[in-house]
Amino acid sequence: MNPSLATLKDRLAMMTDLNLTGSILNWDQATMMPEGGSEQRGRQMATLSKLSHELLVSKETGDLIQELTPWAEQQPMENIEAAFVREARRQRDLEVNVPSSLNSEMSEHYSRMYTAWTIARPKDDFSSLKPLLEKSVELSKRFSDCFKNMDHPMDALIQYADFGVTVKSAKQLFSDLRSQLVPLVKRVASAKQIDSSCLIGDFEETAQLEFCKTVARQIGYDFNRGRMDLSAHPFMTRLSGGDIRITTRAIRSDITDCLFSVIHEVGHALYEFGINPLLDGNILAGGVSSGVHESQSRLWENRVGRGKPFWDYFYPILQKSFPHFEKVSQTHFIRAINKVEPGFIRVDADELTYNLHVMIRFDLECQLLEGKLAVRDLPDAWNERYKSDLGVTVPNMKNGCLQDVHWFGGRLGGAFQGYTIGNILSAQFYDTASHKLPNMEQDFIRGDFSKLKSWLNTNLHHWGASISPDALIQLSTRQDLSIKPYMTYLTEKYSRLYGL
Ligand code: ZN
């Protein structure tokens, strides 16, 4: 290997180790750490973030990238060493704009704020979070100011999560989607409604977790290379190729919260498990964008996990675990888990209204960063949008603007667009896979999900971050990002379900 390439790989492997150690601290904070650890943990995470940032932006790293770039540019797309140099350059070009002191300040602030949020949210206490949120807006603006030639202050934040997407392109995509989605939601609202009361009961938490583990294992989650723990907000984290963890939560009265969270997080985990092992420990070992990552979780959660073939296999097992369902027909159960009902909680939203929740957040964070909305006015602005967009009255702040971890555990802005992009992509990927694998859903009935998993492994996952999101979408589906397959799927499914 070229000695400069070897040195660059060593340096960035060290940076990756620091980042992954930060992820362990983050996982620990969300699952195990006592409240008292918050202050010191924030400092520890800031230290790791500072060291990692310094390694990336250092002159030595820059010189190595500079030297290797002409070679990398001549290599074919599938050359992973060249992809590594390209990605190192992209990451460094971003990070070099941001002073190390700002990175540490942000890291420390977000860690402290996360703990404050876990305490304030159950008490519906917006006032104690208000100054912290104001600080977050200020930090996001300062962060954004580090970048030149950005049309919108949130563009700088978006490029970290969804490279190639801007506020302008996301707004266009959302408005196209909205123009087709809202009439469909209205048609469903005027149809005969589905009774989903069969989903409510008394479901012992340990039994829920056991059932969810069975589902996770069956669809391909490898417990020898992962574990499942409890946290306030479910998430997946990659600590290495051999240690990919998920978290969930269990609500005793409602079995669907835990179940669909687990299928969702397993979808994220299967992406990480499927990444080429040769990339492990490398900056390319991770999902390519939050939109593509979310497409994987939504694909498993909605296309697979809310479908009839999936329940043909799992429903008898569910009935055995929870006698509550013995008198509920499978048809009734499937209708209940697909019920459309505008609500005020994003993570509980049905497939049709989910994107409207995302658009509200996206618009509000844009306005906060544009200076058109003050933090003190956020609760009212939030509630007004819920009234106008979803027709619901938000009962309190914990189920209103305090509900999502995003604004309270990380950079404010630049994350929500990935959810809707993910929903749109999930249809493109699923349709392509089912076209290539005509018997795929027949296998689901027998509890065999391996064909879909390996198609995704081969066509999407194994690339990791070695090609751009746009190239990955084009390569695997022969299409660009398009709302057409998603809207066709939603229209057909909900027309059938509601007899439209
Ligand atoms: Zn997700």
Distance 11 CA to ligand 1 centre (A): 30
Distance 435 CA to ligand 1 centre (A): 25
328-364 pLDDT, tens per residue? Answer: 999 999 999 999 999 999 988 999 999 999 999 999 9
Q: How far is the CA of 332 from the centre of ligand 1 (A)?
A: 27
From ligand 1's centre to the CA of 267, what distance in Å? Answer: 8
Average pLDDT over residues 295-304: 98
CA of 354 to the centre of ligand 1 (A): 13
Residue range 452-490, pLDDT digits in tens: 999 999 999 999 999 999 999 999 999 999 999 999 999
The confidence score (pLDDT) of residue 104 equals 85
Tens digit of each residue's pLDDT (9 = 90 or more) over 406-433 = 999 899 999 999 999 999 999 999 999 9
Q: What is the pLDDT of residue 233?
A: 86
Ligand 1: centre distance to CA 471 (Å): 22
- pLDDT at residue 108, rounded to an integer: 87
Binned at pLDDT 50, 70 and 90, residue 291 comes out as very high
Report, as an integer, the average pLDDT of 171-190: 96
- At 35 the pLDDT is 85
CA of 207 to the centre of ligand 1 (A): 24
Least confident of 102-106, 287-291, 378-382, 489-493: 102-106
pLDDT at 234 (0 to 100): 93
265 annotated active-site: yes
Is the confidence at residue 38, as pLDDT, over 90? Answer: no
- Taking the centre of ligand 1 as the mean of its atom positions, its distance from the CA of residue 416, in whole angstroms, is 10
Catalytic, out of 87, 95, 105, 265? 265
Q: Using the mean position of ligand 1's atoms as its centre, give its distance from the Cα of residue 72 in Å.
A: 33
- The Å distance, Cα 242 to ligand 1 centre, comes to 20
Give me ligand 1 centre to Cα 268, in Å. 7
Expressed in angstroms and rounded, the spacing between residue 76 Cα and the centre of ligand 1 is: 32
Question: How many angstroms does the Cα of residue 270 sit away from the middle of ligand 1?
Answer: 12
| Whole-structure pTM value | 0.95
Tens digits of per-residue pLDDT, 332-341? 999 999 999 9
User: What mean pLDDT comes out for the span 149-176?
Assistant: 96
Tokens for 160? 């970290």
Q: Which of 102-106, 161-165, 214-218 has the lowest mean pLDDT?
A: 102-106
- What does the pLDDT average to over 23-45? 92
Per-residue confidence (pLDDT) for residue 270, from 0 to 100: 98
The mean pLDDT value for 313-323 works out to 98
> Which pLDDT score is estimated for 177?
97
State in Å: Cα 347 to ligand 1 middle: 10
Q: Which residues surround ligand 1, an ion (CB under 5 A)?
A: 297
Domain range list for the chain: 3-120, 167-498
Distance 291 CA to ligand 1 centre (A): 9
**Considering the chain, what is the average pLDDT of its residues?**
96
CA of 66 to the centre of ligand 1 (A): 35
pLDDT of amino acid 174 = 98
* Domain 167-498 classification at class level: mainly alpha
